[in-house]
Amino acid sequence: ILNVEQSPQSLHVQEGDSTNFTCSFPSSNFYALHWYRWETAKSPEALFVMTLNGDEKKKGRISATLNTKEGYSYLYIKGSQPEDSATYLCAHPWGKFYFGSGTKLNVKP
């Protein structure tokens, strides 16, 4: 069993705030780290697949960084909007996908 941990469990921010959250995973035998966004009543949607130490990926106002040596990835949202409200999941594929429990983000208008 692989431990993938996410923090915080939930986050409440005001529209316009920037925010970030963490995904921790075992640093040994690393292959890739996936980030998903899961809006209520919808399917989880892939955001990023990160594979290289020091990798930084960006999609609009959302970006992610990866540190495979210390076993963590950060997801940043710049200028949060109400439509960013969702649960953000990370997953570490090692034979099978091991998901964290997610960070639930609520952005208040």
Partner 1 sequence: DAGVTQSPTHLIKTRGQHVTLRCSPISGHKSVSWYQQVLGQGPQFIFQYYEKEERGRGNFPDRFSARQFPNYSSELNVNALLLGDSALYLCASTPVGHYEQYFGPGTRLTVT
**Site membership for partner 1, residue 71 (CB under 8 A):** no
DSSP summary character for residue 26? -
Considering only 18, 46, 56, 79, the residue that binds partner 1 (CB under 8 A) is 46
* Beta strand spans in 9-109 (E): 10-14, 19-24, 33-38, 45-50, 56-59, 62-67, 72-77, 86-94, 96-99, 103-108
96 touching partner 1, by CB under 8 A: yes
* Of the candidate residues 50, 68, 71, 102, the single one contacting partner 1 (CB under 8 A): 102
The residues that bridge with 40 in the sheet, in sequence order, are none
- If the CB atoms of residues 82 and 93 are measured against partner 1, the closer one turns out to be 93
We find the least distance from the C-beta atom of residue 13 to partner 1, in angstroms, to be 20
Q: Identify residue 60 by its one-letter amino acid code.
A: G
Note whether 106 and 12 are within 8 A (CB). yes
Contact positions toward partner 1, by CB under 8 A?
Answer: 1, 4, 6, 32, 34, 36, 41-46, 49, 89, 91, 93, 95-102
